[in-house]
């Protein structure tokens, strides 16, 4: 889908090559993550693909076509582009921002309308509330979502994303990453993704391109990068906590438990107590209508307050989705000081649970296998 051949760039003002003889191929539907220290040439490489920067030498093929042979603005309309600073147009509403490329492509207004609404839903913003807002009325995370929606508006087969989640706080970043991975399963774009964060690279990438000083050092799957680093540079870049890094590769759904004790709020006080005692746990998750997660109740609290309306002791719990990585799960556990997190789907239906203990077992298994 995207093929870089002997690609080099030397800026006029510089002596050293910013990108040096780069060769790699990104297959259709894959996420290729460019990662490396600051100044190693990631952004330069990405901008050569949509010709915001012209290569000094080498070739770029997009669907077997030489990018140089294509008209610049037309090429760019076929390639979604997201940058860290987002660059939303402050004078336009969310709707107008997202509609930018479809308008350039002269879609009819009805089609644009439909597409924008559909996209906002996909990225988790309620169209009715957000269509007519201006960027300065949105949170950082929401702006970043709109930036992604804008890049996807005309359904380009290729997306270039330069540190797209770099400017938001770590919790929002994990959410955005998970949402994006879930979305990618549906839309199957060919994506070049730049980051300087190796954890993000491992989590997001089908392939990782590790760069240093303009050169491609290793191009491989995250697993191979972790377990067969090509040289010392890659090893150092991964860092010493490889075991923790592996957690980025594993999805919660691989280790979650689908069988667990839960209570429904329609049940009586005695039933709940009985379940709690059976489970030998200190607390139990509670659902509404047997499906929707409401929170949890604590055995001690229930016993102290022997009452029939036990529901009022239900407390909120953090939740996670099944596509989250084990690293996300662990982070959330530590942040919230819990050892169990319920897994819900996008409609808040309780699906499964995941515990610290399972993750620990999993890490030790992985280590024993590989070493």
Partner 1 sequence: MAVIEYFFENSDKILEYTLAHLYLISISIILSLILWVSVGIIIRNREKTAKSLLGFGSLIMSVPSVSLYGILMTLPAFGLNMRSAIFALVLYSMIPIVRNVYTSLNEVDPAILESAKGMGMTEKQILWKVQLPMAMPVIIAGIRVALVMMVGIATLAVFIGERNLGQLIYQGIVRTKTEMIVTGAILISLISIIVDIMMEILKRILVSPGLLKEDSAGEGK
Give min distance, CB of 272 to Mg ion, in A: 54
Q: 171 in helix, strand or coil?
A: helix
DSSP one-letter code for 231: S
Selected binder of partner 1 within 13, 38, 64, 73 (CB under 8 A): 73
Q: Which is nearer to ligand ADP, 39 or 109 (by Cβ)?
A: 39
What is the contact surface with Mg ion in residues (CB under 5 A)? 43
x/- contact string, 127-146, with partner 1 (CB under 8 A)?
A: -------xxx----------
Q: Which stretch binds partner 1 (CB under 8 A): 1-9, 69-77, 112-120, 221-229?
A: 69-77
Q: Which is nearer to partner 1, 76 or 173 (by Cβ)?
A: 76
Tell me how far apart the alpha carbons of residues 55 and 287 are, in angstroms, rounded to a whole number.
Answer: 58
Whether the Cβ atoms of residue 200 and residue 208 lie closer than 8 Å to each other: no
Whether the Cβ atoms of residue 276 and residue 302 lie closer than 8 Å to each other: yes
Selected binder of partner 1 within 74, 169, 278, 357 (CB under 8 A): 74
Name which of residues 265 to 284 contact partner 1 (CB under 8 A).
none
170-187 and 326-336 helices cross at what angle (nearest 10)?
A: 150
The entry of Mg ion, ligand ADP, partner 1, none near residue 136 (CB within 5 to 8 angstroms by kind) is partner 1
x/- contact string, 29-68, with ligand ADP (CB under 6 A)?
A: -------x-xxxxxxx------------------------
Tell me how far apart the alpha carbons of residues 86 and 191 are, in angstroms, rounded to a whole number.
Answer: 17
Residues 6+ apart with CB under 8 A from 295: 285, 286, 314, 315, 316, 317
Whether the Cβ atoms of residue 193 and residue 33 lie closer than 8 Å to each other: yes
**Distance of alpha carbon 59 from the chain centroid:** 30
Whether the Cβ atoms of residue 208 and residue 222 lie closer than 8 Å to each other: yes
By CB under 8 A, residue 92 contacts partner 1 = yes
**Applying CB under 8 A, which residues contact partner 1?**
50, 52, 72-77, 81, 83, 85-93, 100-101, 104, 134-136, 147, 150-151, 160
**Applying CB under 6 A, which residues contact ligand ADP?**
11, 13-14, 18, 36, 38-44
């Amino acid at each position: 889908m995207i093929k870089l051949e002997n690609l080099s760039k030397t800026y006029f003002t510089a002596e050293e090559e910013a990108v040096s003889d780069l060769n790699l191929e990104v297959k259709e539907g894959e996420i290729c993550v460019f990662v490396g220290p600051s100044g190693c040439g990631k952004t330069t490489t990405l901008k050569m693909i949509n010709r915001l920067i012209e290569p000094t030498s080498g070739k770029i093929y997009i669907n077997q076509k030489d990018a140089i042979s294509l008209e610049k603005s037309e090429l760019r309309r076929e390639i979604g582009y997201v940058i860290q600073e987002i660059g939303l147009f402050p004078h336009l509403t969310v709707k107008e921002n997202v509609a930018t490329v479809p308008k350039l492509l002269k879609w009819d207004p009805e089609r644009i309308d439909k597409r924008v609404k559909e996209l906002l839903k996909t990225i988790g913003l309620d169209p009715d509330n957000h269509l007519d807002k201006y960027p300065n009325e949105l949170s950082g995370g929401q702006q970043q979502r709109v930036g992604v929606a804008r890049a996807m508006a005309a359904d380009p087969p290729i997306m270039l994303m330069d540190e797209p989640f770099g400017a938001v706080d770590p919790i929002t970043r994990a959410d955005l990453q998970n949402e994006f991975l879930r979305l990618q399963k549906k839309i199957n774009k060919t994506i070049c993704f730049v980051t300087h964060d190796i954890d993000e690279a491992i989590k997001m990438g089908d392939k990782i391109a590790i760069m240093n000083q303009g050169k491609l050092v290793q191009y491989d799957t995250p697993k191979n990068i972790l377990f067969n680093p090509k040289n010392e540079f890659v090893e150092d870049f991964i860092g010493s906590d490889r075991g923790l890094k592996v957690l980025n590769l594993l999805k919660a759904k691989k280790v979650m438990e689908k069988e667990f004790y839960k209570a429904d709020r329609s049940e009586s006080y005695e039933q709940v107590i009985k379940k709690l005692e059976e489970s030998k746990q200190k607390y139990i998750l509670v659902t509404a209508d047997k499906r929707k997660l409401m929170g949890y109740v604590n055995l001690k609290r229930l016993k102290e307050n022997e009452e029939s309306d036990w529901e009022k002791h239900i407390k909120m719990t953090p939740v996670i989705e099944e596509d989250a990585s084990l690293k996300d799960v662990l982070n959330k556990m530590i942040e919230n000081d819990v050892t169990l997190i319920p897994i819900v789907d996008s409609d808040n239906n309780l699906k499964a649970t995941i515990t610290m203990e399972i993750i620990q077992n999993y890490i030790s298994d992985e280590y024993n296998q590989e070493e």
